[in-house]
Structure 1
Amino acid sequence: MAAPATPRAAADTSRWPAPRGRAFTRAQWAVLIGGFLVNVGSFSIYPYLAVLLRERLDVGMAQVGVVLGAATLVQFASAPATAAVAERIGLKRSLVAALLLYSLGGAAFLAGQRVPVLTVAGLLLISGGGSLYSPAYRSYLVHDVGDEHRPRLVSAGNAAGNLGIAVGPVVGALFVHRPAVMFAAVTTVYAGVALGHVFLRRERRVADAPPVEPFRRMLHGVAVLPFVVTAVSFYVHMQFYQYLSSYAQGRMATLLFGAAMMGYSLGLVVVQPLVAERVGRMSYPAAVAIGFGALATGMAAFAGGNGPAVVGGVAAISVGSAVLFLKNDLEALAGSRRSATVAFGQQRLAVGVGSFLSGVAGGSVYGAFERGGFLPGFWLVVAAQCVVLPVLVLTVGRWLGRRPAQDDL
């Protein structure tokens, strides 16, 4: 005899899946295309920001670092707050508002040729737009769908964004010597996507949605273990992203390195949707083992210090990241007592925490090995951390899970 349906299961039957024969609704397609275009625009600018700020502001790299650090702080530290805003005003309105901030930022970059300080304003506006856009974008894709559809939709959102990250620097390189044309084009893209999103279907209220809580409780209900694992994931991952370019100089052709890094992003685009359903069914410890195992393999390969070793290492990290980043988000959604919007905002804060720790600790360790004349040893240390840290986190998490239940953060 079949068990009676639970209230949650009964609610799932009323949700709006994609029409038969289609993977996504029209609204989801529009948001996915928008996410791709936004990242093409943003990442056509980001790789050249340090040079641009230095030229326009006529300052040293220390001052440039302060500006970039402030922009990173705006993007990640404010994510729980902007997610809470999106939860209140709605996802469609948040997407449009974020794209207006992006558009104003692009216009400020364009005007910064004559008034250099507007370049800083443009960077902060785009960072603020990203902080609001990211949780609303990802939450819109999974809004009002059953849990079984989440792996496919989260991976599709990530794939669209990563494809934009891969294409953006190439587009930027075409216009790097014509910044006015680049900023005008980027602003037009942002404004066009904003206009398109005005016509999105407004999300409906879900009957069993978690209650909206006060701003002071923006971190309440966080899924602690996925938050910590995400922070650790980006702590080790960003050491690859931040320091490999410096390490690769003189060890491999610049063109080969650029192709490898583009391959990294394209690998995420291809691999994550292919493994999404399997990752969704996989246990968290298994996904953590596969993800960090691939990261450890890739970091250790970098110690080889030549082109093939670096390319192989990047490929391994691409596969590991595809599994690990997706499972972290799925576990956060499953374990959070808040809306998907707030859960994604909390995850973005975890990314910021890990990235910050990577910059502080990783830079010091890299510098120590550089001064000691044995840079390959840096990657072996990072590889060891990929093995030790997740074991430590999961062990502590399992121990805490056996304790009497207490209120989360």
Structure 2
Amino acid sequence: MTPRPGPTRFTGPQRFLLAGSFLITLGSFAVLPFMSVLLHQRLGLELGTVGVVLAVASLVQFAGGAVGGALAERVGLRRTMLLALVVRTVGFATFLPGLRHAYVAVAALFLVSCGAALYLPANKAYLVHHADKARRPLLLSASGSALNAGIALGPLAASPFVLSASAGLFATVTVLFAAVTAGHALLPTEAPGAAPVRPENEDGAPPPPPPTYAPPPTLLRRRRGRALTGPDVVPFAATVLSVHLFMFFQHYLALYAVPRTSTTYYGLVLALYALLLVVAQPLLSRWIAGLRYARALRLGFAAMALGMATLGIGNHAAVLAGAVLICFGEIVLFLKNDLEALARSPRAPAVVFGRQRLAAGLGAFTSGIAGGAGYQLAERAGHPGLFWLAVAAQCVVLPPLFAGALRNSPSYRTP
């Protein structure tokens, strides 16, 4: 007798996308965590300029998710993912001449960011489309684990080559993305707006077809007009703030940690950070899903505050301990914000994830602008650790201000 599949069983396309997510981040994070070092040390850009470049690239990568979500809803998830991967492959190939010309490297970074903006909303929507609400935490946490497994190995594998053999590294990443793109071409094609993946029920039987009812255009217009009003605005704003605080760590840890440790140790810290995400996020997904939203936000921001303050100590142990604390904050905040956005919005998952990427882009942009100038100021003062204390202070002060502003917002009070 064939055993019944459990609720954790993934379909073939879902398994492929999870494997593809691992390979995509493996290639991306072999390069992207070292961009501040490459732009500043190898290509000679000023730190202030590096901050602006990273801020604009992050804005394109994240905020462009709104375009990616809308495109996926119109032309289909598979087509959108293919277009995105072609753009990213061209972007990594463009880094090869960019190793000699700063403006070409910046253009390559923007191409890679555009590809990520188009890809991620469609990828997440492919995973959760028509999945039961109870399965969404597992699917999203599995996606996060696949992404972070690539993040774990990418910097560690690339750290010996990122400055000494950059051309070979970028060529390898380009070939990897070309292969992943070819694999995506074999995924099942879905009609625009249709569900590409329909998981089985626990008894092995296919699920019933989705309802054929289509809301009238006036109702759709009313829903779209209220997409970011009332409770819908809360996870959007929380994501802006979460990413704003997290991206200080993402963008500027390399500049801080490498001179005080080494590129190998920095790569090892990122690897351990990502491996912790891989293991802990699925294990904690059900617990996080059951948390009251306000409590999840308090826990996540408190962990980030402690982690940023710990980084300010500046030795090997502090860098590792600070990263672990920030990792816990990321697990709680990022997963809970996505789950709340899905639960509160009437729109299709691709559009919801696209708007969450837009929120992340806004947060990353403000972080990049403030971080470049702030880190340069702390470095010139001779105390770079003060930069992390200032970020920790933001983790304490900004969440209550954000909550108060939302409670007083007319859009939040709109029924």
**Under TM normalisation by the shorter chain, which class is it?**
0.7 to 0.9
Question: Identity across aligned pairs (percent)?
Answer: 44
Q: CA deviation at 1:91?
A: 0.7
* Number of the residue aligned with 1:384: 393
**In structure 1, which of residues 138, 141, 146 is the aligned counterpart of residue 124 of structure 2?**
138
Q: Give secondary structure in 1 for the equivalent of 2:31.
A: helix
Q: CA deviation at 1:49?
A: 4.2
Q: Give secondary structure in 1 for the equivalent of 2:313.
A: coil
Contact 2:148 2:277 in 1 (8 A): yes
> Quick one: structure 1 residues 331 and 209, their matched pair in 2 at CA, closer, same or farther if it must change by over 3 Å?
farther
Between stretches 236-245 and 336-345, larger displacement belongs to 236-245
Contact 2:160 2:264 in 1 (8 A): no
> Quick one: structure 1 residues 394 and 351, their matched pair in 2 at CA, closer, same or farther if it must change by over 3 Å?
same
Q: CA deviation at 1:115?
A: 9.1
**In structure 1, which of residues 318, 329, 336 is the aligned counterpart of residue 338 of structure 2?**
329
Q: CA deviation at 1:168?
A: 1.6
Instruction: Note the aligned Cα RMSD (angstroms).
Output: 3.4
**In structure 1, which of residues 183, 186, 196 is the aligned counterpart of residue 173 of structure 2?**
186
Contact 1:33 1:160 in 2 (8 A): yes
Contact 2:62 2:361 in 1 (8 A): yes
> Quick one: structure 1 residues 371 and 50, their matched pair in 2 at CA, closer, same or farther if it must change by over 3 Å?
closer
- Residues 216-242 of structure 1 deviation map (CA, whole Å, 9 limit, x = unaligned): x98861321111111111222122233
Distance 2:135 2:8 in 1: 13
Q: Give secondary structure in 2 for the equivalent of 1:44.
A: coil
* Number of the residue aligned with 1:4: none
Mapping 1:319-358, distance limit 5 Å: 319-358=328-367
Distance 2:315 2:37 in 1: 28
In structure 1, runs of 5+ residues without a counterpart are 1-17
* Number of the residue aligned with 1:318: 327
Q: CA deviation at 1:321?
A: 1.0
Distance 1:114 1:91 in 2: 36
Distance 2:276 2:396 in 1: 23
> Quick one: structure 1 residues 69 and 274, their matched pair in 2 at CA, closer, same or farther if it must change by over 3 Å?
same
* Number of the residue aligned with 1:14: none
Q: CA deviation at 1:353?
A: 1.2
Asked if 1:103 corresponds to 2:109, the answer is: no
Asked if 1:90 corresponds to 2:96, the answer is: no
Asked if 1:234 corresponds to 2:243, the answer is: yes
Contact 1:74 1:127 in 2 (8 A): yes
Q: Give secondary structure in 1 for the equivalent of 2:314.
A: coil
> Quick one: structure 1 residues 72 and 309, their matched pair in 2 at CA, closer, same or farther if it must change by over 3 Å?
closer
> Quick one: structure 1 residues 147 and 265, their matched pair in 2 at CA, closer, same or farther if it must change by over 3 Å?
same
> Quick one: structure 1 residues 211 and 238, their matched pair in 2 at CA, closer, same or farther if it must change by over 3 Å?
farther
Asked if 1:361 corresponds to 2:370, the answer is: yes
- Residues 190-211 of structure 1 deviation map (CA, whole Å, 9 limit, x = unaligned): 2222222222233435547889
Q: CA deviation at 1:243?
A: 3.1
- Residues 248-280 of structure 1 deviation map (CA, whole Å, 9 limit, x = unaligned): 466556544432232222221111111001111
**In structure 2, which of residues 173, 177, 182 is the aligned counterpart of residue 195 of structure 1?**
182
Asked if 1:151 corresponds to 2:124, the answer is: no
* Number of the residue aligned with 1:221: 227
**In structure 1, which of residues 266, 269, 275 is the aligned counterpart of residue 275 of structure 2?**
266
In structure 2, runs of 5+ residues without a counterpart are 196-209
- Residues 107-157 of structure 1 deviation map (CA, whole Å, 9 limit, x = unaligned): 333466799876555433322211100111111111110111111111111
Asked if 1:34 corresponds to 2:20, the answer is: yes
> Quick one: structure 1 residues 337 and 305, their matched pair in 2 at CA, closer, same or farther if it must change by over 3 Å?
same
Distance 1:148 1:66 in 2: 41
Distance 1:48 1:379 in 2: 19
Contact 1:218 1:342 in 2 (8 A): no
* Number of the residue aligned with 1:12: none
Distance 1:401 1:275 in 2: 35
Distance 1:124 1:363 in 2: 18
* Number of the residue aligned with 2:207: none
Distance 1:111 1:304 in 2: 39
**In structure 1, which of residues 372, 378, 393 is the aligned counterpart of residue 402 of structure 2?**
393
Contact 2:159 2:264 in 1 (8 A): no
State the AA in 1 paired with 2:112: I
